[in-house]
Structure 1
């Protein structure tokens, strides 16, 4: 019997371009097989268009569970998703399968706060800060919450393109402009920022560049996925 390779399962939101094209797979993308040293498999979360996932739609939960279970049936040994706002369904998905589940890099927030000096702040960079509420971050202590800085690129091209139906691809150069501008703004307002967490799964395409230019630790969903897979024997 031939053993199946250990694969990371990615639950993917609906994405079909105007010409019927699939989502673009660029260097550094979490959807690019070349990003990892292990195989990935993907399943679409039926009906989960970006607008509903970002804003939150409880009715999508059965579709998330179904996608996760299909991935496990296909050989996934860990599960993630390609939208950080999927954290709203973390508990339901984790309870539905018997493999590790990390729906969002936001799961890292409590751990990152403990890694940093108590006098510093953690910046969370999101696609849309208007809907990235504190209830999604897993931090109840008010003192620790005060150390969180949430910045968003809701005025940029990435969110505008993703929220369309059908969505449009966004150039990496435009993502870099959005992200760099947001980082510059929040660091000016909060010089205590000592690390940055990218919520948006589109941001890893510029993580390397942002680490080089900001000189700060930057965490993203790709790093979380690699850590999760490294823990599985």
Structure 2
């Protein structure tokens, strides 16, 4: 078999490209920003100057740097592009329209699929980084009906999470943050018995998904479940077994 090099590409084998905010926080295993989270290679590209604050401000001047970083990933051979923040939903349409690979910028893209699993009176419980910034506009930007039943709780009241993810002090204690995430999940299901699935919006929350599931005994979806799903479609494997 004769294989052909792609012009401008100097490494191969990475199907998922991940756009990173310009942040200062440790990315532990399970975090979207930690390569050991995956059973396959991924490729990262930081969008310089694109801070979490600028994202929440919906800074339109950042669109061009985002597109440039995304194109760099495409040039380096990735087959699909995601991000490390669910609120990157704000840029989903523009990026998908410009880049010539599938784009899935937010974990929230899973909402229609999850909603279709539930009865009309049941809800998806969403644990997000900042509930005050979780707006219908995020869903509309993703082409999602904002009337889908949701229960939303944020992590902005949890000191250890805020210090690591919002204040970016440069350190984190996984055990303390895990406790905080579990507390939020437990509060959510206690407040609303119609919550039957949990979706973790924030890319820093997947490390705690297993503990959340043990605590509330519900299916838990997150950024990593979405990335793994897309990877399974991008790189199909042959089946082995016996009859």
TM beyond 0.5: yes
SS in 1 for 2:211: helix
For 1:210-225, what aligned pairs fall within 5 Å after superposition? 210-225=212-227
Of the three residues 36, 40, 54, the one matched with 2:38 is 36
Distance 1:6 1:128 in 2: 31
CA distance 1:51–1:197, shift in 2 (3 Å):
same
Residues 1:56 and 1:159: Cα distance change in structure 2 (over 3 Å): farther
Match of 2:162?
159
Which residue matches 1:123? 125
Secondary structure at the aligned position of 2:116 is classed as helix
Determine if contact 2:16/2:42 at 8 Å carries over to the other structure. yes
Shift of 1:149: 0.7
Q: Which one has the largest radius of gyration?
A: 2
Aligned twin of 2:115: 113
Q: Which runs of 5+ in 2 are unaligned?
A: 6-11, 236-243
Please state how far the C-alpha of 1:44 moved relative to its aligned partner. 0.7
Find the counterpart in structure 2 of residue 11 from structure 1.
19
Q: What's the Cα RMSD here?
A: 1.8
* Structure-2 change in CA distance of 1:205 and 1:2 (3 Å): farther
- 1:22-171 correspondence to structure 2 within 5 Å: 23-138=25-140, 139-140=144-145, 142=147, 144=148, 147-156=149-158, 157-164=160-167, 167-171=169-173
Following superposition, the deviation at residue 54 of structure 1 comes to: 3.3
Runs of at least 4 residues of structure 1 off by over 4 A?
A: none
Partners of 1:29 and 1:202 within 8 A in 2: yes
Cα shift at 1:191: 0.8
Q: Distance in 2 between matches of 1:79 and 1:29?
A: 16
Q: Does 1:227 align with 2:229?
A: yes
Rounded to whole Å, the distance in 2 between the matches of 1:62 and 1:114 is: 35
1:125-149 Cα shifts (integer Å, max 9, x gaps): 100000011221244364x3xx211
Preserved contact between residue 109 and residue 137 of structure 1 (Cα < 8 Å): no
Q: Which residue is equivalent to 2:9? A: none
Shift of 1:167: 4.3
Instruction: Go from structure 1 to structure 2 and tell me whether the alpha carbon gap of 1:169 and 1:102 turns closer, same or farther (over 3 Å shift).
Output: farther
Paired residues of 1:204 and 1:220 also in contact (CA < 8 A): yes
After TM superposition, the structure 1 stretch with the greater mean CA deviation from structure 2, 84-93 or 166-175, is 166-175
**What secondary structure does 1:89 align onto?**
helix
Q: How does the TM-score come out when normalised to structure 1? A: 0.88
